[in-house]
Every structure is written in C-alpha cells, then in structure tokens.
C-alpha cells in the first residue's frame, strides 16, 4: 500500500484510513477497548487506497495525454520539415544537374560547330591548293604493274620519273613484288594526280605524279618523301629513277632517293648494283648522260630566251650536259644554268 501511495498521492487518504483501522485494532487487542469495527475500517482504507490510486492514475494519464499529443505533433512536424528539406535538396541537385547537362550540351554543340567550320576551312584551303598545283582527284581502279595504274573511270596512268621492273608482257626480277606493292597501296584509294609537262606518252597513257595527300608545298623534300607515291616506289627499292624530258620537275629528288635505296640494298638493289631494270643510276646511263639528255649526244638542242622560260619546263635548272643548257643562262659559270 505504501507503494500505491508513492505511485498515486491520492491513495494516501485510503492509506490513512487503513492505518487508523490498524491502530484501533491494535488498541482493541492491547487494552480491550470496545471497538470491534476496526477490521472494517482497515478494509475500507485498503479499498479506498486502491480506488484513489486508480483514479489518480487515470487522471495522470488524462493530464499527460495532451503532452503526448504535443510530442507526437512536434515529431510529425519535424519529420515533415526534414522530408521537405530532403525534397528541396534533391530538387536543387536535379536542377543543378540539368543546368550542367544543358551547359555541356551547348559546349559540345559549339565545339562541333567550330570543328565543322575548321573542316570546311581546311577543305577550302586544300581545294585551293589542289587547283594551284594542278592536282586532280581520282579513284584508283587497279594496278596494271608497278609503275602503271588504271583509274576507276578507265584511264591508264604511267607514273613519271620512275621505272619498275616489268611484270606483264615480260617479267624482270622484282617486277611482281613492285606490282603487288602498287596494287596494295593504291587499289580502291582516292589519290591526287599531277601533270609535269607532258600530258600523255606514245601509248596514250596519262603521264602523272601520284600524291597520296595534298602537299602544302609540292617542292618540299619532306612533303615529297611522305606524300608522293612515285617517291615511295624509289625510296623502298621498287623502282629506279628514270628521267625523260621534259618531265624533270622531280628528277633530282628521285635520283637522290634512288641512291639512298641502293646504299641500303633495298628491294631491287639487293639483287645487284645495277638493279633489275633500266634507270638513271645505271653505269651505262651515267657514262653517256641520263635518258633526259641522250638527245644532246645526237646534237639536238633546246633553246629558251631566259631562265624564266627555261624554269617553266625545268624548275631546278639544267646541267651543262643538258640540251637546254646555254652559257648565257649560267651567270656564275658553274656549268649549271638557271639553278635556284
């Protein structure tokens, strides 16, 4: 009962009644006081304590109920606020991501536009360069042999300044290899053709230089080495340099490349110092002049009014053994006229 009083203060009333009954009962036993109802008083006090404790508990619960409701309400509001903050944060992140995606898309679109403009500019520059150098874009249909190709529209083209071993009507050593090299490198490819002076040979074939790409300067040695297919044939030992007037624009380069290939024993030069076909580096050609000045040995000459006219045909000038040589064009008397 003491615990009931502690738990519910109102129960102390019933507790007091219980102790009164207990006291009267004790007096009755000790002093024989005439009060026989003390047991009922104790019972009433006990019942009253329980009743009041229960009532006080209900009251306490009733009193605490609003507080509990308030706590629940505060928690709900806190949860709601946290959820709203979370949603707001997620929305902000989504908007930021969307903004970044839009900025990235705009940047990529601008870069793509700039790339297109740059590509168009480069194409225009290449087209202008092609026109200035007299280049014609064609597609190679097949390789006839190492130094002759056929375009996709049926025109046969003889590569000038070079001579590969024969591989068709008759076969010379390393002819098949040269033909296979040309076929593997050019068949189906788009290339640029360039005329020197002559348009066709006696067989009706076009006489052309073949460029794999448009050169920035068609007389630059590095550009010739990297982009001219005629030069590739000589540099890799598939062809000997072979010069015929008046198509001599690149003859000095071809001879230089031929000597390099011979020194390194590349291709046909591995089979002998004379190679396997006719060319400018043959000892017989060296003793009587190259194929380009064989006409001089027969007494024929070429005459040009000045170096400007001569360079239209021979851009690098001519040596004293050349039929176009004239001492009046050799001002420094070094036996080479109109050199640059």
| pLDDT tens-digit series, residues 140-166 | 999 999 999 999 999 999 999 999 999
| pLDDT tens-digit series, residues 264-305 | 999 999 998 889 998 999 886 554 444 444 443 334 467 888
Q: What is the pTM of this model?
A: 0.56
- Tell me which CATH code domain 133-300 carries: 2.40.50.90
Confidence at 6, pLDDT banded by 50, 70, 90: low
| pLDDT tens-digit series, residues 307-339 | 888 888 887 787 777 788 888 888 877 777 887
Which residue stretches of 32-174 are H helix?
Answer: 38-132
Confidence at 67, pLDDT banded by 50, 70, 90: confident
Could you give phi then psi for residue 58, rounded to 5 degrees? -65, -40
The pLDDT, as a whole number, for residue 294 is 42
3 state DSSP class of 118: helix
Token pair, residue 318, equals: 């001519």
In this structure, the number of other CB atoms found within 10 A of the CB of residue 179 comes to 23
The mean predicted confidence, pLDDT, of the chain is 83
Residues 6+ apart with CB under 8 A from 16: 45
3 state DSSP class of 126: helix
Of residues 173 and 15, more confidence is placed in: 173
| pLDDT tens-digit series, residues 182-191 | 999 999 999 9
With CA atoms as reference, report the closest residue to 155 among 191, 205, 190, 199.
Answer: 205
Domains of the chain by residue range = 2-105, 133-300
Of residues 299 and 55, more confidence is placed in: 55
Task: Output DSSP code: residue 281.
Answer: T
The pLDDT, as a whole number, for residue 114 is 93
């Amino acid at each position: 009962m003491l615990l009931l009083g502690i738990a519910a203060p109102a129960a102390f009333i019933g507790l007091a009644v219980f102790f009164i009954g207990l006291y009267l009962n004790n007096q009755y036993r000790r002093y024989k006081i005439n009060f026989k109802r003390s047991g009922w008083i104790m019972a009433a006090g006990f019942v009253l304590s329980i009743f009041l404790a229960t009532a006080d508990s209900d009251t306490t619960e009733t009193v605490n109920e609003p507080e509990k409701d308030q706590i629940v309400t505060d928690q709900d509001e806190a949860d709601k606020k946290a959820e709203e903050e979370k949603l707001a944060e997620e929305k902000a992140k989504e908007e930021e991501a969307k903004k970044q995606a839009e900025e990235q898309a705009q940047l990529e679109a601008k870069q793509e536009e700039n790339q297109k403009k740059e590509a168009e500019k480069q194409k225009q520059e290449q087209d202008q360069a092609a026109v200035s150098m007299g280049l014609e874009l064609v597609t190679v249909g097949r390789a006839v042999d190492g130094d002759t190709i056929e375009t996709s529209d049926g025109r046969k083209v003889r590569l000038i300044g070079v001579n590969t071993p024969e591989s068709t009507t008759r076969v010379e050593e390393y002819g098949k290899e040269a033909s296979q090299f040309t076929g593997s490198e050019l068949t189906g490819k788009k290339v640029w053709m360039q005329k020197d002076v002559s348009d066709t040979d006696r067989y009706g074939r076009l006489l052309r230089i073949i460029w794999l790409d448009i050169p920035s300067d068609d007389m630059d040695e590095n550009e010739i080495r990297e982009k001219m297919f005629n030069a590739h044939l000589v540099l890799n030992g598939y062809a000997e340099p072979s010069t015929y007037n008046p198509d001599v624009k690149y003859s000095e380069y071809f001879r230089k490349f031929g000597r390099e290939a011979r020194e390194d024993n590349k291709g046909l030069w591995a089979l002998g110092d004379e190679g396997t076909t006719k060319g400018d580096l043959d000892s017989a050609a060296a003793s009587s002049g190259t194929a380009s000045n064989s006409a001089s040995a027969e007494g024929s000459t070429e005459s040009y009014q000045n170096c400007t006219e001569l360079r239209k045909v021979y851009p690098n000038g001519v040596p004293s053994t050349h039929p176009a040589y004239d001492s009046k064009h050799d001002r420094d008397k070094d036996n080479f006229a109109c050199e640059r």
